[in-house]
Amino acid sequence: MATNFPLRPFIAISSLKLLCCSAIAQQQVPAAPDSTWSFSASGYYYFIPDEKNTYTFIGTADYKKIHLETRYNYEDQNTGSVFAGWRFKTKGKVQFEAIPMMGIVFGNTNGIAPGVELSLAYYKFDYYSETEYVIDFSRNENNFLYTWGEIAFSPIEALRTGISYQRTRLYQTSFDTQRGIFAEYSFWKLTAGVFYFNPFSSSELATATLTFDF
């Protein structure tokens, strides 16, 4: 088993440990205009029962089909990562977008991370997911697969709410899946949100998010 847990999977595993003892983006990637740069900065603050609260930062930059991304405290604590990807998207009533990416991870964990971000939207419904597989340079036991997903409904333009999940698979282990609910509200260039995983259980955890698009 990995000795340095990635942050979002670390949170999932911490919750599982709490559950066993007693018994996370972001974010939807904004579509970039075809001829200009667009940027976003997102912060995630995690309230973890019986653990030290922590945070994650994600920044993105998009130009035409190019997608760039940087993360901190995502794959592991005190660890950064940078990604570059290429956007494929369709237009029409059903909008689909895929961004395959390759990343470099450095800090407590050092390695590479191929990944993909997917989104699908129709009318007031949408789906978003981000998946990555981290290959640690030091030990195979530190490799892991991680997915964050959201299934959402927007009753009004400014409000997005639905269910979320995260799945983590460490080296030679089965998947650990956590489910929750969330709500996001957008105003001006800001989007604030709250995610609540494992509701009303001993392994519950909450995340407060804030995204600035510019």
Q: List the CATH number of the domain containing 140.
A: 2.40.160.40
The percent of residues above 70 in pLDDT, for the chain, comes to 84
Q: How many domains does the chain have?
A: 1
**What average pLDDT does the structure give for the chain?**
87
Amino acid 34: pLDDT: 57
Encode pLDDT of 11-55 as tens digits. Answer: 444 444 333 333 333 444 444 455 699 999 999 999 988 888 999
Amino acid 13: pLDDT: 40
Per the structure block, which two tokens stand in for 18? Answer: 């709490």
Which residue range forms the structural domain that includes residue 103?
A: 7-213
Q: Is residue 42 part of a domain?
A: yes
Q: Is residue 36 part of a domain?
A: yes
Q: Is residue 2 part of a domain?
A: no
Asked if 122 and 95 count as a contact pair (C-beta separation under 8 A), the reply is yes
pLDDT greater than 80 at residue 10: no
Letter string b/e over residues 39-69, b meaning 16 or more CB atoms within 10 A of that residue's CB = ebebbbebebeeeeeeebebbbebbeeebbb
pLDDT greater than 50 at residue 5: no
